[in-house]
A and B are shown apart, each in its own frame.
Chain A
Amino acid sequence: MKLRSIISIILQATRLLLILLVLWLSFDWKVRKARKAFEKELLEAGMAKKDAKKLSAWFSKLEKEIKQAVKTTIFAQR
């Protein structure tokens, strides 16, 4: 019973870490998708590609800031 619970705890923790890792790794891809969709709408409205890229840079900036904030939080707690 005790051993089973410990194994279950290890499995749950591993599962949680794996999911968080996948989320972290897929973050870039999600940002890229959102950025592309955002740019596409602006281009369809007649905006120049250069300006659309400039406006969509906000996504990448925010992504970097969030990643930095997460890293800072993790290292601050150690």
Chain B
Amino acid sequence: MAEKERECCSEKRKEKEEKEDIEELREVLSVVSKEVPALIKGIIGSIFSEEAGRDMGRAAAAFYKELKEAGLPEDVAVRMTEGYISAFTSLGEVLKQAVGGKKGVESKELEKEISRRIKEKLVEKGLAEKEEGENEED
């Protein structure tokens, strides 16, 4: 009799844990599905948008104009402007490395930051409190 009760209790506990896991996954996914696209959109938009292109073009054009006004020949001015643009290229390299997942300290820091933000969102939704309560029980 006692054995049956114990079995029943452990089954119920298992079921409860399963339910909580699913609920937690649902919460995490809801946060991730909102935050990750916004993050990616922001990163892409900072370089690949009409406005960003116009701003970069304006900066390069001003540089080119100055060189021309200073009396430099066309080919030299273009080459120097190309060099000036390479400053943006290094920015692009950073982006490429971030997207490409250059393993190392940077990616670990990024992981930490993402998990911190997810935890923050979970705290907002009161899920973390629940987790803490469970830990204390254990």
Contacts and interface: CB of A to CB of B under 8 A. Distances in A.
Given A34-B48, A73-B101, A12 B30 contact: yes
**Interface of A, helix, strand, loop or mixed by DSSP:** helix
Question: Which bucket holds chain B's interface residue count?
Answer: 35 or more
Contacts of A20: 36-37, 40
B41 A69 contact: no
Contacts of A13: 29, 33
A51 B56 CA distance: 16
Contacts of B51: 37
Interface of B: 18-19, 22-23, 25-26, 29-30, 32-33, 36-37, 40-41, 44-45, 47-54, 56-58, 60-62, 64-65, 68, 74, 78, 81-82, 85, 88-89, 92, 95-97, 99-101
